[in-house]
Structure 1
């Protein structure tokens, strides 16, 4: 059992990990950027193409960057990701055209690729190094809840920011949050790579050794994600529930389509955020759920999203989405913990990135569906996606590994 001197560094690490997660979603521009695009003259199809570009960039860069996170300083990659994140929103403000929005999404996709698997691997390995691996579910679940809470707060702040300075002020405020996140990153452990040059058959010191370690991490992570039945199932389940978050990109458009005023959209999105936060908090107590129960939660989430698309009233739609996205957030945390617990080899970030790539592929399919949907509204394609989500619940129940029982030390 850890003594008082050991618990204090763990608590300090947890605070920093929680702060990073909260700041990553605390962007005032999130609830209104789809409206920024349409008010700049873009059609629903063009908005969906931008979102698809965002995912494609992530697909291309996610796994290679995950392998780098198993090779070089993870803190360095997180710092670079924060800088690129800020550049993405600055580009939207400075160049409010289709080309500028596309460049911003490309930068955002790069930032996400640099940080997603990197952060999760850093958190898990650093906690494990302090004999606190069992704290990971708590840190990630509470972190998701704080992230949603931070997003909810900044969503509510978006209304007065819009009233005072329009989209420009909302955008620059988001850039400022990215810079605060950069300061938090500077306080994290350096997190040295877990795939060492010693493990390579052709271990040769010199300039080429980093590339050799990168290739080894890539090979190890992809191998485990595809050949281990347990890890493969966890990767598929995690990717599926992560992709379900694609719907929130269209919340603002749905609410305005149903009659909500511009300044009221952030408030409705904030209500949905409260449900997501609650779902993430419950997830810390649901990590032992059976796969069938988790699959049932996904199916119920799909039914609630479909209800939101049908009701025609923005407030009722927000209430339905609050419940539905609370369940989605719960299963996101649950599946992420199961994936981490099944990984046995060193290339943890690469395996996680493989799951993220699959999630992005599914997201692109959804974006293309919205872009090709007949008419200009989002309710009909949202209803189709909700029906697909209900069916995906069956697959999640099949793929998700059972909970890992705690080891009993004699």
Structure 2
């Protein structure tokens, strides 16, 4: 929504997302080690602050380079949260011997996150009508800062990473070493999570399908709801490899139709995709055995960012159809894992 009236081309927007991914590639794993060595909760607090600064930069400097600087800040904030949240959640459960509940709780968190997008879409429509993307941007700044305040209240179990614990470099190396024996689980998360890049293009797709800009948030309101349904079912149903393959077919069909009704197929794509994402994320967390949980998770995240570069290129040259084909390829790899 922030880019709706920015005047940027699809190629420039793809370049901005590439800058965001490059930032993540550079800082993802080091930031995961920071969370493991010091505090996962503090990393999440800092994440909200940096992302707030990113939104503010977009509003104050609405040019390509202003957006680029904002994406760097947004990317830095994202790396501090990536891995830290999963580690905080899993270790909090493990401290009480409830780690087996992680999959169901992870599904619930994803479901709530997606459902929350519905009122946000309604509010975004109103804000865009009243004050354009600037008003929406400043509200986004406030929301990011509010998330930091909420993160301050998260409980964090004690770990052996205080003054007497291993140093930063030792923590980083521990995480990198552990990612090797569980590489299949790491690769599955990297490949599947990279598909989430597609979410950034939903508004552009719907605009291309002849939906007026002011109505884009409401037109796509059902997409996160279907995604929430898929995530919720993942907490109750076992993994099925063909689900991701079906997801890719839905996206290809939507791209072929390219009319407003294709939003239904877009929602089905997203729901099936979210079902698979919850499962591969949960499997990875169960396989990690060291205290460098955030670092290992960040290794998977950096893999997803590297794959995302290819998806950005596919968007420029093949849009949703090209990404749909890529989803089919990922589905084959994950299905055979």
Say whether residues 1:392 and 2:337 are aligned partners.
no
Report the counterpart of residue 41 of structure 1 in structure 2: 7
Structure 2's unaligned 5+ residue stretches are none
Contact 1:237–1:396 (Cα < 8 Å) also in 2 = yes
d(CA) in 2 for partners of 1:185, 1:103 = 25
CA distance, structure 1, for counterparts of residue 82 and residue 66 of structure 2: 24
Match for 1:220 among 150, 174, 190? 174
Q: Which residue of 1 aligns with 2:69?
A: 103
Q: Check whether the contact 2:92–2:156 (CA below 8 A) recurs between aligned residues.
A: no
2:157, 2:51 → 1: CA distance? 21
> What secondary structure, in the 3-state scheme, does the structure 1 residue paired with 2:82 have?
helix
3-state DSSP of counterpart to 1:307: helix
Aligned pairs for 1:203-214 (under 5 A) are 213-214=167-168
Shift of 1:254: 1.3
Pair 1:333 & 2:302 matched: no
Deviation at 1:196, TM superposition (A): 6.1
1:72 and 1:193 in contact (8 A); partners too:
no
Measured after TM superposition, the shift of residue 77 of structure 1 is 1.1
Tell whether the 8 Å contact from 1:148 to 1:273 is kept in structure 2 after alignment.
yes
Contact 1:138 1:284 in 2 (8 A): yes
Residue 320 (structure 2) aligns with: 382
- Residues 228-249 of structure 1, C-alpha deviations (whole Å, 9 max, x = no match): 1xx1111011111101111121
8 A Cα contact 1:145 1:276, kept in partner: yes
| Count, aligned residues | 337
Q: Which residue matches 1:303?
A: 249
Aligned to 1:322: 267
Matches within 5 A, 1:355-374: 355-371=300-316, 373=317
Retained in 1: the 8 A contact 2:61–2:67? yes
For 1:33 and 1:249, how far apart are their aligned partners in 2? 11
Ranges of 4+ aligned residues in structure 1 off by more than 6 Å: none
Structure 1 counterpart of 2:103: 137
Q: Which residue of 2 aligns with 1:159?
A: 125
Partner deviation per Cα, 1:294-320 (whole Å, 9 max, x = no partner):
x21111100001111111212x21100
Pair 1:69-2:23 in alignment: no
Residue ranges of structure 1 left out of the alignment (5+ in a row): 1-31, 201-212, 374-379, 400-410
| Residue of structure 2 equivalent to 1:188 | 154
Query: CA contact under 8 A between 1:272 and 1:321: conserved in structure 2?
Result: yes
Structure-2 separation of matches of 1:381 and 1:162:
26
Q: What do the CA deviations read for 1:356-386 (whole angstroms, capped 9, x no partner)?
A: 0000111112113333x2xxxxxx4210110
What TM-score does the superposition give when structure 2 sets the normalisation length?
0.96
Q: Does 1:276 align with 2:221?
A: no
Summarize the Cα distance change of 1:218–1:85 in structure 2 as closer, same or farther, 3 Å threshold: same
Looking at structure 1, the residues matched to 280 and 233 of structure 2 have their Cα atoms a distance apart, in angstroms, of 14
Secondary structure of 1:70's match? Answer: helix
What TM-score does the superposition give when structure 1 sets the normalisation length? 0.79
C-alpha displacement at 1:112, in angstroms? 0.6
Q: Distance in 2 between matches of 1:192 and 1:100?
A: 40
Is the contact between residue 255 and residue 320 of structure 2 (CA under 8 Å) also seen in structure 1?
yes
Q: Please state how far the C-alpha of 1:192 moved relative to its aligned partner.
A: 4.2
Contact 1:75 / 1:188 at 8 angstroms: preserved in 2? yes
| Aligned counterpart in structure 2 of residue 256 of structure 1, from 189, 193, 207 | 207
Structure number, greater radius of gyration:
1
Cα deviation for residue 268 of structure 1 reads: 2.1
Distance 2:53 2:164 in 1: 38
Query: Does 1:55 find its partner at 2:21?
Result: yes
Judge conservation of contact 2:38–2:161 (CA < 8 Å) in 1.
no
Task: Provide the alpha-carbon RMSD of the alignment.
Answer: 1.5
Would the aligned equivalents of 2:314 and 2:322 in 1 still touch at CA under 8 Å? no
Residue pair 2:111, 2:228 contacting (<8 A) in 1 also? yes
